[in-house]
Amino acid sequence: MDRDGVINLSVVRNGKPFPPATLKDFVYLPGVEACIKQLRAAGYLVIIVTNQPDVASGIQSKEVVDSMHLKLYQDKLCDDIKVCFHKEEDDCNCRKPKPGMILEAALEWEISLKQSFMVGDRWRDVEAGKSAGCFTYFIDYQYQEKIPDSPDEIVSSLEDAGKSILQKFNPRDLAHGNS
């Protein structure tokens, strides 16, 4: 799943979301902690894939981003975090909408992407998930930007995506190829 706007509150300016500037501003969205704990208890791995280009741009420090990720680990809200610090013009393979971070996580964790989900609040998240072969959930905050092309399901929060996952898909069935 994506981080900003999915797990924590984004700062929205002129209809566009931005990451929090400080650890103090890094606030979980309602229902996120319970949702992730339910997903993990059901047997799902929770891996965060996040673009953080403000580090490369000099707007954000890597230490602040690392402190946010340490909080996620300490609160047991993820199994792993993949981060792309590149700017768009760097044309790397890890920056969403390219699926590099998802593919890396799948290789490291031996994950079947056909039996995986990508939850995001921006078109880049959905495109990366689709490119990797995941079922995609789009949290629609109606940002003033490009909308994703054909997400598998549109939801209003991670909590709604989590409920859908837990109702529609049994992780034990997925592990045995019975999806």
Q: Which of 2, 25, 75, 149 is catalytic?
A: 2
* Residue 125 bears catalytic tag: no
Residue 173 is a catalytic residue: no
Q: Which residues contact residue 158 at a Cβ distance below 8 angstroms, ignoring those fewer than 6 apart?
A: 1, 6, 7, 29, 31, 32, 35, 36, 119, 139
Select which of 4, 91, 125, 140 is catalytic.
Answer: 4
In the structure, how many helices (H) and strands (E) does the chain have?
7, 7
Instruction: Return the residue matching tokens 């990366």.
Output: 128
Other Cβ atoms less than 10 A from the Cβ of 87: the count is 15
Residue 130 DSSP class: H
- How far is 113 from 107, CA to CA, in rounded Å? 10
Looking at the annotation, which residues are catalytic?
2, 4
